[in-house]
Amino acid sequence: MGRWTQYDEDDYRLPEGMKRIGYDSDSGRYYFRDTDGSIWKGAEGVEFGEMTKVNGLPSSLAGGSEAEDTRGTDVEASPRRRNGDYELLTDDQDQPMAHRSTVNVDSFKSLFPFFLIIAVILLLVWRLIVSPGLSTPPKKCPENTSPHWIQPGDSCWELSRTHSWTLDQFKEANPKVECDPLIPGTSICLPPPKVKRSVRRL
């Protein structure tokens, strides 16, 4: 695109006495005012071209543009300035610069499954990792007994004999254990091993 020239200005491109007064982005048309005050609209999507006479401005331009056009100013050519050199647009005369936006609940509906998955994962972590450490485990063995891990080759009779128990005492302390066969790696309850006290001679 070439450099700007005076031939690009409205005074050169528009008929005598016509002034551009606004642009409607909804319809894509420019609006113009004649010397007698009549309003004209341009073709859709074209800056200059064939114009059609209309009764009034569309609602998007009617709010601020007509009041300004009565003063003889062109909205696009010379925007008004507020304090701090902020250029006012046609539709923000008395509105604050920052608008408070409302939260749209519909946008979070598509995120609900992801929030649900995260909640389930957090509950599983709590259930499997955190909560078992918080509660004290129930006693598996009755009093005066301690847990013993079964080794390969152990039998109920041999374990009860080495711990000075009868087979009936062994089955009473371990009602759920099946003696034939004992599965290595499982836990049973047996009396604690007797500690041998060494006697010191002086």
Per-residue pLDDT of 157-196, as tens digits, reads 888 888 888 888 888 888 888 888 788 888 888 887 766 6
Residues comprising the chain, all counted: 202
Query: Bridge-partner residues for 170, per DSSP?
Result: none
Do 52 and 26 form a contact (C-beta atoms < 8 A)?
A: no
First vs last C-alpha separation in the chain: 114
CA–CA distance, 168 with 26 (Å, rounded to integer): 95
42, β-bridge pairs? 51
Q: Which of these CATH numbers, 3.10.350.10, 1.10.10.10, 2.40.50.100, 1.10.3720.10, describes 146-190? A: 3.10.350.10
Residue ranges of the chain that CATH labels 3.10.350.10:
146-190
Is pLDDT above 80 for 61?
no
DSSP letter at 19?
Answer: E
Q: What's the whole-number average pLDDT of the chain?
A: 76
Q: How many helices (H) and strands (E) does the chain have?
A: 8, 6
pLDDT digits (tens, 9 = 90+) for 8-45: 677 667 877 788 888 888 888 888 888 888 888 888 87
pLDDT digits (tens, 9 = 90+) for 142-162: 788 888 888 888 888 888 888
Q: Poorest-confidence range of 19-23, 31-35, 56-60, 69-73?
A: 69-73
pTM of the predicted structure, to 2 decimals = 0.30
What does the pLDDT read at residue 65? 46
